[in-house]
Amino acid sequence: MDGPQDLGGKESFGPIEVNSPDYRHDWERRQWALTKLVATPGVTIDWFRHALETMPPAVYLSVPYFQKWNANNMALAIDTGDYTLEECVTGKAIQPGTPAPVLTVDDCETLQRSLHTDFSRAINVAPAFHFGDHVQTDARPTPGHSRLPSYASGAKGQIIAHHGAHVFADAGAKGDHSAHHLYTVEFRASDLWADAECPDDTVCLDLWEPYLASA
């Protein structure tokens, strides 16, 4: 979707704070832990991302990263009916539950280690493209969730790897787990940017087959 998350190539953000820490505030660490430890049932990684992209654009662009995660965790659970807006505002549960068991650091490590999700899927469709093929990406803005950034839409590139089929992000954001062939496509910087810094530079993106046509 053509939203505020699609930042590649956008101008005027200024210098990078190269010495910034991992966190500025304690609440950022706590929100990170909350997001990883409290899952809303049925939320896919792509619905999580898509929901985050639908924040008011001015808010998305101006608040700290983990503040967005905080709002998104609330929004996703309000959507499913697990929390109400009032509960999120007051921090008080309408119906308190039985206290959850404590996870030790070792338990957390076991949980963390289990999060290596395999997104590859076996499908009965042969790949349309192969190593070395020239392709062109879809030039039209995609409704809903998409992982084809606008800076690379309508651009010509070359397949440098095929990864088999992976769960298609656009579908995953709708709760559909269908898969398509996934490729790494390498683009020449000069095919993406009129004022590329160096013609030999390249940008590589991982793109699903529905984004691509033969060029």
Partner 1 sequence: MPSFDTKKIEQIHRDLHTHLPSDPALRVKALESLVVEKGLVAQESIDNWIELYAERIGPKRGAEVIARAWTDPAYYDRLINDAGQAVKDFGFEGHATEHTKAVQNTSQTHNLVVCTLCSCYPFSLLGMSPIWYRSAAYRARAVKEPRAVLAEFGVTLPDGVKTRVWDSTAELRYLVIPERPKGTEGWSADQLAAIITRDSMIGTQRELAI
Of residues 97 through 136, those in contact with partner 1 by CB under 8 A are 97-105, 107-109, 112-120
The correct pick among 123, 128, 190, 193 for binding partner 1 (CB under 8 A) is 193
The correct pick among 34, 156, 162, 190 for binding partner 1 (CB under 8 A) is 34
**Eight-class DSSP state of 131:** T
**C-alpha 125 chain-centroid distance:** 26
Residue 177 sits in the site that holds partner 1 (CB under 8 A): no
Contact status, residue 126 vs residue 164, Cβ threshold 8 Å: no
Contact status, residue 29 vs residue 83, Cβ threshold 8 Å: no
The correct pick among 158, 165, 166, 170 for binding partner 1 (CB under 8 A) is 166
Contact status, residue 141 vs residue 150, Cβ threshold 8 Å: yes
The correct pick among 136, 163, 191, 210 for binding partner 1 (CB under 8 A) is 163
Picking from 150, 125, 133, the residue whose alpha carbon sits closest to that of residue 185 is 133
The correct pick among 128, 136, 142, 186 for binding partner 1 (CB under 8 A) is 186
Q: Is the Cβ of residue 19 or residue 124 nearer to partner 1 in the bound state?
A: 19
Residue 214 sits in the site that holds partner 1 (CB under 8 A): no
Picking from 204, 187, 144, 152, the residue whose alpha carbon sits closest to that of residue 169 is 144
Q: Is the Cβ of residue 36 or residue 134 nearer to partner 1 in the bound state?
A: 36
* The 3-state secondary structure of 33-52, one letter per residue: HHHHHCCCCCCCHHHHHHHH
The correct pick among 155, 159, 192, 212 for binding partner 1 (CB under 8 A) is 192
Q: How far is the CB of 125 from partner 1 (least distance, A)?
A: 18
The correct pick among 129, 133, 135, 149 for binding partner 1 (CB under 8 A) is 149
Contact status, residue 140 vs residue 153, Cβ threshold 8 Å: yes
The correct pick among 2, 8, 125, 154 for binding partner 1 (CB under 8 A) is 8
Distance CA 14, CA 108 (A): 38
Q: Residue with structure tokens 């787990």?
A: 177
Distance CA 129, CA 175 (A): 27
For partner 1, the binding residues in 41-100 under the rule CB under 8 A are 41-45, 47, 49-52, 54-56, 59, 61, 63-67, 70-76, 78-80, 83, 85, 87-93, 95-100
Q: Is the Cβ of residue 25 or residue 134 nearer to partner 1 in the bound state?
A: 25
Q: How far is the CB of 91 from partner 1 (least distance, A)?
A: 3
